[in-house]
Amino acid sequence: MTYIIKKIALTEAQQLALGQLQVHLSTGRAIAEKAAQLLDNNNCAIDLLLGFRQLAMSFQTCFASFLNQLPQLNTRQVKTLTGDLRGIGQVASKVMKQKQITIGKQLINQL
């Protein structure tokens, strides 16, 4: 597969935001892989799931900040995409919150 990369001049703040996004992605990938391993072994991955939720919210904030720094991308399509991503993130956050409540109840019942 061939990729054509368009060179875009980025400010230092934009480069920092991109770096933060990459860190979030790498950390999220590592957490997801470890959580999957634990779940495959019938082990509870509660701490990882809670950490992943926080990481996902932080990623959303960082991503929105990066998009806001790129005025050339403030088109209707990008705004729609950003809104859709924000909506998906909110739904995922609600689902994760419900999962956390369920896990908490299960832990209390085990005591």
Single-letter amino acid, residue 87:
G
Global confidence as pTM? 0.53
Q: What residues have CB less than 8 Å from 107, skipping those under 6 apart?
A: 46
Residue 7: inside a domain = no
Cα–Cα distance, 18 to 30 (Å, whole number): 19
Cα–Cα distance, 44 to 102 (Å, whole number): 13
pLDDT tens string 21-65? 888 888 888 887 887 777 677 776 677 777 777 788 888 888 878
- Domain extent, residue 16, equals 12-110
Cα–Cα distance, 96 to 53 (Å, whole number): 7
Per the structure, how many domains does the chain have?
1
Residue 79: inside a domain = yes
CB atoms within 10 A of CB 48: 20
pLDDT tens string 76-109? 766 776 677 777 777 777 777 777 787 778 778 8
